[in-house]
Amino acid sequence: MNMDVTYRNVKPSTRLKGRAEKKFQKVAKHLREPIEAHLVLREEKHMKIAEFTVTGSGEVFKAEEQTSDMFASIDGAMTKLERVVRRHKERAHDRWHASSGDGGDGFVSAGSDDGEDIEA
């Protein structure tokens, strides 16, 4: 897992980076390696903005949150990102099980009458 942090109009802080890395561990467990993460922390006027871009499992996931507190922005963006990643993982799991060919589509095949003839 590789995580880069970019600060724009924000003083670099080990607390901010540590918080982001700690929260990102919850997201990383849903993805396959290699995982590349890029975090942009920026301030515009009075809003603190956290943007995450994560590449993992062959997909690109993005999340952004803006609040008046940088820590709250990081937490909110991670919550959004975790929801998106979990939803993608569940959908992929559902698609894989639906296409497994087990006949669980609710239809009965034509050859399942076991040789019994129905007469009117």
**What is the tens place of the pLDDT at every residue in 46-78?**
899 999 999 877 888 899 999 999 999 999 999
| H or E stretch at 13 | none
Q: Domain limits of the chain?
A: 2-98
The CATH class of the 2-98 domain is alpha beta
Dihedral class, residue 45 (left if φ above 0, else alpha if ψ from -120 to 50, else beta): left
Q: What is the tens place of the pLDDT at every residue in 83-95?
A: 888 888 777 767 6
Per-residue pLDDT at 120 exceeds 80:
no
Per-residue pLDDT at 109 exceeds 60:
no
Q: Whole-angstrom Cα distance, residue 22 to residue 9? A: 23
User: Residue 72's pLDDT is what?
Assistant: 94
Over pLDDT 90: what percentage of the chain? 38
Residue type, 20: A
